[in-house]
Amino acid sequence: MLQKLFIIYTALFLLTFSLDAQTTFCPDDPPLNSWLADSPYPIYHRNSYAQASSCIKGILPGDTVTIKTRTNITGGTSPWIYLTDKYPNGERCILFSNSTHVFKLIDDGNSIVAIDSFRIDFDPITSFGYNHLLTRDHIWFSYDPDYNPENGEYTRLLKFSDEDVNDPYSDIILLDEFSFEAFEIPAVNMYNLNYYGEIVWYSERDTNDTYAYAGVIDQDFNMLDTLRFEVLPAERVNHNSISVDEENNFYIVTSHRLIQFTWDGNKVLIGWQALYDFVNDGPTGNFAYGSGTTPTLMGWGEGNDKLVVVADGHANNNLVAFWRELPDGWTGIPNMPLHFADSISIPNAMSFSNLFQSIENSPTVHGYDVAIAQFNGFLGYDCENLKGVSKFNWNQEGNEFELQWTNDEVNMNGVLAYSSGSDLVYGSGKEEDCNYYYYGLDWQTGELKVDVLLGPEGTFLDDPFYDAGVNNVIDEDGSIYFPGGGSVVKLERHPLSTATIPSPNDSFSIYPNPSSTHVFVNHLAHPGTSYTIYSIDGIALRSSTLRNTQIDISDLPAGLLVFQFEGKDGIVVKKVYKD
């Protein structure tokens, strides 16, 4: 009895500690991993279940949005961004991980500024900054995946912190470094943090194309265990990241199967695996082989369905669910593996090349709802794009997916972010007018609710709004960050409920609205500000520099006009109706 009471009191203490330590934990989140940083986005796909959803309220219809960018960040494409724990002064830093560097940036109130950078690699081709783990107390991990045993190169795992953990403006320091060389492990670029606070990982095939490895490392860089498992003929192993459940099982998807690894603190084993042809008739290029998506976990708690959700790489893609735990009485589906639960065709999912998957961005899950978007490429794409965002629900009674809606009018080329606080799902994309837009779709209907013109495309990797197919981070104030190929973009939210009527003394106020001949702008704090006027269709009607407070619009077409001002403090977008 005393032992049971001890366990109960210990659990309550840990729960209280965890909730106090992580103020960004949402009540409808999966079980809390208290080792992650207290951050709105401490890990790729936001949480250990890789769901990319949050309760934090994002941009709402009618809000004013100020666009800030930090451009010319060196190091190649496919970065992910993360927000740190709060520092004692209440600020958070932005961590940006790409092919060659780790960057530390901050919004100082006027613009996004770089604080420090740390070079981790000199090869921008073979490494991508997918995995970045933020733990408590301003500790984070990144990696260099280079692997060439003939040249003595093995993957390195790097542990970073601040020189002064109480100062957001302090430099980055390297605390420790781990090499997989001593264990002769092939390239490793997929990691996650389990509920013991340990780092789980898995590798590519070895040089003999016979085995791959999975294992666990503690935060002091002790290798706790490794498992060598045999790969199947022609199996592509290391393409997608890892999700972890509260029992410390972790999940990977290959071109041929979905695998659950178990970890009891002593031994890594394969718990179960489900053979499934994720390639079939789909593309097989260097950046596409099998599923392009990280396994996303759905469901927890006693009596609920517990699933792993991925998209396959077929020419006509499917959303596929596997049982994490087999329900009572489950006997399986004929000709399918026992853990296969269901699949459903994804509307508007279409192969566009043999280089990438049609669905390369992982599912976004909230409860038993899941949304997923058509992909157009990591390396830039034409203004003529493929569109499609779809939402499904898992029917627990019928053990099957049901399509709730699909929207074939917008391009959202990244991992979607859902906010239950605003009931919108967010993402960005380039459209036929070669402008980038930021969108918010109604979670219940798919209807377009937020439509922010970001600006025109630029040169590859010198394009501030370039959507590299990665994450969207919703901050506590409802602002949203996302990375470009070599940039960080912030959509700073100014809620409609707190807005005041513009006056000539307001910075960047624009009036009257509506107008038929002229509008006036207060730009006294922003001399030399340039501006472009767009039609509602995104067509640039005029570009100039503010020289006085008056702008003549008498020669412009009637309707909604979008003014994009760009100055030393970033980008501001205003809308005026010309009658």
Q: Tokens 């010198």 correspond to what residue?
A: 462
Q: From 458, 415, 480, select the one nearest 59 (Cα to Cα).
A: 480
**Per-residue tokens: 177:** 């470094």
Reported as type and span, the H/E element at residue 19 is helix 2-21
Q: From 288, 417, 299, 452, select the one nearest 358 (Cα to Cα).
A: 288
Q: Which pLDDT score, from 0 to 100, does residue 22 have?
A: 46
Cα atoms in the Cβ-side hemisphere of radius 13 Å centred on 219: 20
Q: Are 171 and 190 in contact (CB under 8 A)?
A: no
Q: Which pLDDT score, from 0 to 100, does residue 16 have?
A: 38
Q: How far apart are CA 399 and CA 33, in angstroms?
A: 28
With a CB cutoff of 8 Å and minimum separation 6, the contacts of 492 are 65, 66, 67, 68, 479
SS3 at position 176: strand
Which DSSP state fits 401? E
Q: Tokens 């194309």 correspond to what residue?
A: 209
Q: How far apart are CA 176 and CA 551, in angstroms?
A: 57
At residue 109, what is the residue type? G
Q: Which pLDDT score, from 0 to 100, does residue 508 have?
A: 65
Reported as type and span, the H/E element at residue 563 is strand 559-567
Q: How far apart are CA 138 and CA 86, in angstroms?
A: 9
Q: Which pLDDT score, from 0 to 100, does residue 129 have?
A: 59
Provide the 10 A C-beta neighbour count for residue 348: 16
SS3 at position 7: helix
At residue 172, what is the residue type? I
Q: Which pLDDT score, from 0 to 100, does residue 352 have?
A: 72
Please give the C-alpha separations between residue 210 and each of 286, 351, 472, in angstroms, as whole numbers. 20, 30, 37
Q: Which pLDDT score, from 0 to 100, does residue 445 have?
A: 97
Ranges under pLDDT 50 in the chain = 1-22, 498-506, 523-527
Q: From 25, 51, 55, 52, select the one nearest 38 (Cα to Cα).
A: 25
Written as one string, the DSSP assignment of 179-222 is EGGGGT-----EEEE-TTSPEEEE----TTSSEEEEEEE-TT--
Q: How far apart are CA 303 and CA 397, in angstroms?
A: 12
Q: Which pLDDT score, from 0 to 100, does residue 171 have?
A: 97
Q: Are 146 and 120 in contact (CB under 8 A)?
A: no
pTM (two decimals): 0.83
Residues in the chain: 579
With a CB cutoff of 8 Å and minimum separation 6, the contacts of 106 are 91, 92, 93, 94, 112, 113, 115, 168, 169
Q: From 469, 439, 444, 440, select the one nearest 454 (Cα to Cα).
A: 439
CA triple 366-369-371, angle to 5 deg? 90
Give the tens place of pLDDT for each residue, 397-415.
999 999 999 999 999 988 9
Q: Which pLDDT score, from 0 to 100, does residue 212 have?
A: 96
Which DSSP state fits 461? T
Q: Which pLDDT score, from 0 to 100, does residue 501 have?
A: 33
Q: Which pLDDT score, from 0 to 100, does residue 231 have?
A: 95
**Per-residue tokens: 402:** 């049901």
Q: From 175, 218, 224, select the one nearest 199 (Cα to Cα).
A: 218
SS3 at position 9: helix
Q: Which pLDDT score, from 0 to 100, does residue 289 have?
A: 73
CA triple 570-576-579, angle to 5 deg? 160
Q: Which pLDDT score, from 0 to 100, does residue 103 have?
A: 93
